[in-house]
Structure 1
Amino acid sequence: MKNKILVVEDDLKIQELIVEFLSSQNYEVHSSNDGLSGYEKFKEEKYDLVILDVMMLKLDGYSLCKMIRNIDKDIPIIFLTALGSEEDEIKGFEVDADDYITKPFSFNVLIKRVEAVLKRKKVIKDEGNRLDFEKLSLDLSTYKAYISGNEIELTLKEFNILRLLINSYPGVVSRELLIEKVWGYDYYGDTRVIDTHVKNIRKKLGVNYIRTVKGIGYVLEKEVE
C-alpha cells in the first residue's frame, strides 16, 4: 500500500511540482492551497505524512501544525518554506515539526527527508512492559507516561527520548545516539531539534530529571531534595 502524503502549499506552481515528483516516487499525494482547506482535508483522510508551507492565506503553517498535532500527535510533519532564519526554523521545531526545509530546495533532498521521517514513524518495540525512574514510569505496551501515578501527555519522540535515557542511566546519552535511536540513523535535519524536545519534556515532567552535559548530550539524575 502506498504511503499517503498531504501537501499544503499556496504557490500553485511549486505545489504542482511537489505533487508530480512525489507521485513519481510511488506516493499517493493530496494537496491543498491554503491552511484552512488543508486542515479540513487532513480531518477527512488518514495520512502518513504532511508537508506544510508556513506563509499561507487563512491559516499559517505553524498554526496548522499545532491543529494537526491536536488530532494526531505522532504523524510526521515537514515544513517546506522560504522562511530560512534560525528563529523561524526553531519556531518550526517548537510546534513539533519533524523536519524543516528551506526554499529553494532540491527534490532529491526532499525525497530523502520524506523517506527518513517515514522510517522514523516505525515504532521500535522493547522487551518488558514498564520502565521506572524515581517518580517517572513509562508503560511500554501503551506508550503512556506517568509522574507519581498521574498520566502526562508525551509525543512518541518524547517518550522514546525518555526511554533511551532511562535505559542508559547513569550514563550520558550523546546527541548523536539520540538522533540515531529516536530519529533514525539517516536523519537529515538539524540536531537542534533534540534540544527543543528535551525542553518540552522538562516542562511536562515538572521534575528536574534531565541534565545537559555541555558539548555531549543528556543524562538522567535523581532530583535533589
Structure 2
Amino acid sequence: MQQQGRGLVLVVEDEAAIAELAAMYLKRDGFGVHVESDGAAALAAVRRLKPVAIVLDIGLSGMDGLEICKALRAAGDWTPVLFVTARDDELDRLLGLEIGADDYLTKPFSPRELAVRVRTVLRRAAAATPLSEVYSAGGVRVDLTQRRAWAGEAEIGLTSTEFDLLAHLLRHPGQVFAREQLLSSVWGYAASAGTRTVDVHIAQLRAKLGGHSPIRTVRGIGYSADK
C-alpha cells in the first residue's frame, strides 16, 4: 500500500500484470494504490483503508466485481467505482451501471485512460460548489454543496454519476438535452459505451426517485427535467 497526495485507490484485479500496470500509472498520477485480488479481501480493504475510488475487475473468481459493488451499495458505501471487464459485453457493462458503478473500461485498456477516468470521477464527486446551491423540481431536491438528494422527504443514495446527471437536469429545467450532450456535460468525455450509458443511468435515477421523478423523455431527442 502506498499513500500519496490525491488519495488512495483500491485496485481489485486477479491478473497480476494488469494490476501492476494499473498501479504504476495511478502512482505516476499522484495516487496511492493498494491492490487486492479477491472479493472478500477487497471488501475488507474498503472498510479498513477508506479509498477515494475503486478500480474493480468484473471477472474475479469467487465473489465477482458485480457482487462486490452490490454489497458496497447495499451497505450505503458510495465510493466511486470504475469497472474493468475482459469482454466487450454490453450486458456486463449495463449490469455494472445498474448496481451503482460510476464508469467502466473494457480490456485491453490504456493505463493512461484509466488514470484519466479515475481523476474525472473524483473531480465530479469533489467539485466545489457555492454555498446553498439547491435545485428542485416536483418532489425532488439536490444540494450541490453537500452532494445530497431527496425524493419527497426521503434522502436517497446516488452514485457520483447519478448525482451529477440529476443535478445537471435540475439546473436547466425545461431544457432538452440530447444523449450526446449529456455524455459531454456530465461524463466529461465522449464515452466509448455510447448513448446507452445515459439511458441506463436515467432508468436508475427514475427507479430511485419513484413517483417524484421530474425526468421526462423527449422522443427522438433525449431528456429534460420538468420546470
Same structural fold, with TM-score higher than 0.5 when normalized by the shorter chain: yes
**Which of 134, 140, 156 is the aligned partner of 1:136?**
140
**Which of 13, 32, 37 is the aligned partner of 1:33?**
37
Are the counterparts in 2 of residues 179 and 187 from structure 1 also a CA contact under 8 Å? yes
Distance in 2 of aligned mates of 1:67 and 1:145:
21
- Under a length normalisation based on structure 2, what TM-score does the superposition of the two structures give? 0.83
Question: Which residue in 2 is equivalent to 1:19?
Answer: 23
The Cα offsets for residues 103-122 of structure 1, whole Å up to 9 and x where unpaired, read as 22222332332332232222
- Within 5 Å, give how 1:190-201 maps onto structure 2: 190=193, 191-201=195-205
**Which of 71, 74, 90 is the aligned partner of 1:67?**
71
Are the counterparts in 2 of residues 99 and 189 from structure 1 also a CA contact under 8 Å? no
- Matched to 2:225, the amino acid is L
TM-aligned CA deviation for residue 97 of structure 1: 1.5
- Under a length normalisation based on structure 1, what TM-score does the superposition of the two structures give? 0.83
**Which of 115, 119, 137 is the aligned partner of 2:123?**
119
The Cα offsets for residues 170-204 of structure 1, whole Å up to 9 and x where unpaired, read as 221333443344333x4645343222221111112
- Matched to 1:49, the amino acid is A
TM-aligned CA deviation for residue 124 of structure 1: 4.3
From the superposition, tell whether residues 40 and 193 of structure 1 become closer, same or farther in structure 2 (CA, over 3 Å): same
Distance in 2 of aligned mates of 1:131 and 1:111:
31
Distance in 2 of aligned mates of 1:21 and 1:130:
37
- Within 5 Å, give how 1:121-200 maps onto structure 2: 121-126=125-130, 128-184=132-188, 186=189, 188-190=191-193, 191-200=195-204
Unaligned 5+ segments in structure 1 are: none
Large movers: runs of 4+ above 4 Å: none
Distance in 1 of aligned mates of 2:65 and 2:138:
38
Distance in 1 of aligned mates of 2:152 and 2:29:
47
Aligned to 1:51, the other structure's residue is in SS state strand
TM-aligned CA deviation for residue 30 of structure 1: 0.6
Are the counterparts in 2 of residues 113 and 187 from structure 1 also a CA contact under 8 Å? no
Number of aligned residue pairs: give it: 220
- Matched to 2:165, the amino acid is I
**Which of 44, 47, 60 is the aligned partner of 1:43?**
47
- Which has the greater radius of gyration? 1
Q: Percent identity?
A: 36
Aligned to 1:111, the other structure's residue is in SS state helix
The Cα offsets for residues 56-83 of structure 1, whole Å up to 9 and x where unpaired, read as 123100011122333431x221112212
Are the counterparts in 2 of residues 78 and 98 from structure 1 also a CA contact under 8 Å? yes
Question: Which residue in 2 is equivalent to 1:220?
Answer: 225
TM-aligned CA deviation for residue 137 of structure 1: 2.9
From the superposition, tell whether residues 59 and 145 of structure 1 become closer, same or farther in structure 2 (CA, over 3 Å): same
Q: Name the Cα RMSD after superposition.
A: 2.5
Distance in 1 of aligned mates of 2:46 and 2:214:
36
